Amino acid sequence: MKKLPKYFLFLFLGSLYSTNLEPTFLVLNHFDKFLPNADSSLIENFSNSTFEFDSTFQILFEDIDNHENPAASHMVTIKELGEKYQVNYILFNRIEHINDRFILNGLLFNTRSGGLIHRRKIDLKQYLNGQINELNMWVGNTVGQVEKNWENNRKSILFSDPEEINYQKTPRGAAIRSLAAPGWGQAYSGKKISAGLWASTESSLSIAAIISFLNYDKAAKSFKKNSKLYHGTNDEKDVANYRTAAENDWNDHVTFSALAIAFAGATGTGWVANSVHAWIVGPRAYKNLYQKWDPKSPNTTG
């Protein structure tokens, strides 16, 4: 047998007594679950209203969508209630819970005409104090008083716009860091081993390139010096020595030049590769999924 939902109906009168021009509301809350703070929340948030509670109305406006003309279907009742409670408007709020969602159906009636003025239906995933928050927003919209924190509270359950998601660490950040200092991007991504490898490789290659260049420079200078000495002497022995030295310097200068170019090229290529690697292994959101079923247990599916 289907369990009948428990209906908790609160009837309260919100009268804005501050000036005679302010509208007065009779608020009917019709919830399928008891919301303990609904009444106190409205009293707190709409302090310029006075509330009265009544539970004489059991199921009101339940079948409003089944009427041919729903806006006018309860005209007489609305007018009677308006006269009885001396209010300008009747606000009817129904909250239904379906699994992890709730539906707020709000209806605002004018007691002078008896007609339906505004209607709002909200279908939302449940969030902390969501029902109360949505109720406040709907009532606030009606009376023109919506607080920013209610809107922020509602936004807190919504998934982020992909374009608005900002990560503290990004692959681009890692790539830039590695471009500045090899290995920094990998370290920033928490890849300590590859950070160490890149840093040591790049520093070794850089040192080798620098040493090669210094040796090349030294050989070139020595070659010039020995060439000058070679041309400046007539001594046969010295000529032979300077010639041999100049030839050695020339060979060294060619070798170290090639080595410097090779090491510098390797350093530059490695530098760029290290930055690309930092981007590839850069920090990205991930989640490890592990098999939930126990492989030892028999298959339980039908």
Partner 1 sequence: MVRNYKWFLGSLLLLVNLFGQVKLSVKTIPKKVNIILDGINIGKSPIINDRITPGIHKFEIAKSGFAPITYDILVNPSQAVHLDFFMNPIYQVKFKTQEKGLVFELNGEHLWDDPFIRLDLEAGDHFLRVFKLNEIIDEQTIHVDEPKKFNYYLKKLISEK
Q: Which residues bind partner 1 (CB under 8 A)?
A: 64-65, 69-72, 110, 115-122, 124, 141, 155, 158-163, 165, 284-296, 299, 301
Write phi, then psi, for 241 (nearest 5 degrees).
Answer: -65, -50
Residue among 234 and 288 whose Cβ is closer to partner 1:
288
How big is the CA angle at 222 (ends 219 and 224), to the nearest 5 degrees? 110
Residue among 155 and 224 whose Cβ is closer to partner 1:
155
Residue among 58 and 66 whose Cβ is closer to partner 1:
66
Terminal Cα distance for the chain, rounded: 27
Residue among 78 and 209 whose Cβ is closer to partner 1:
78
Integer Cα distance of 13 and 15 in angstroms: 6
Least distance between partner 1 and beta carbon 107 (Å): 8
CB 108 within 8 Å of CB 119:
yes
DSSP tag of 112: T
Least distance between partner 1 and beta carbon 142 (Å): 10
Least distance between partner 1 and beta carbon 204 (Å): 33
Least distance between partner 1 and beta carbon 176 (Å): 21
Residue whose C-alpha is closest to residue 150's, from 133, 167, 165, 163: 133
Least distance between partner 1 and beta carbon 247 (Å): 59
Burial class (CB in 10 A: 0-12, 13-18, 19+), 177: buried
User: In the beta sheet, which residues pair with residue 105?
Assistant: 94, 121
CB 139 within 8 Å of CB 44:
no
Residue among 63 and 247 whose Cβ is closer to partner 1:
63
Residues 6+ apart with CB under 8 A from 253: 216, 219, 220, 223
Residue among 2 and 292 whose Cβ is closer to partner 1:
292
Least distance between partner 1 and beta carbon 162 (Å): 5
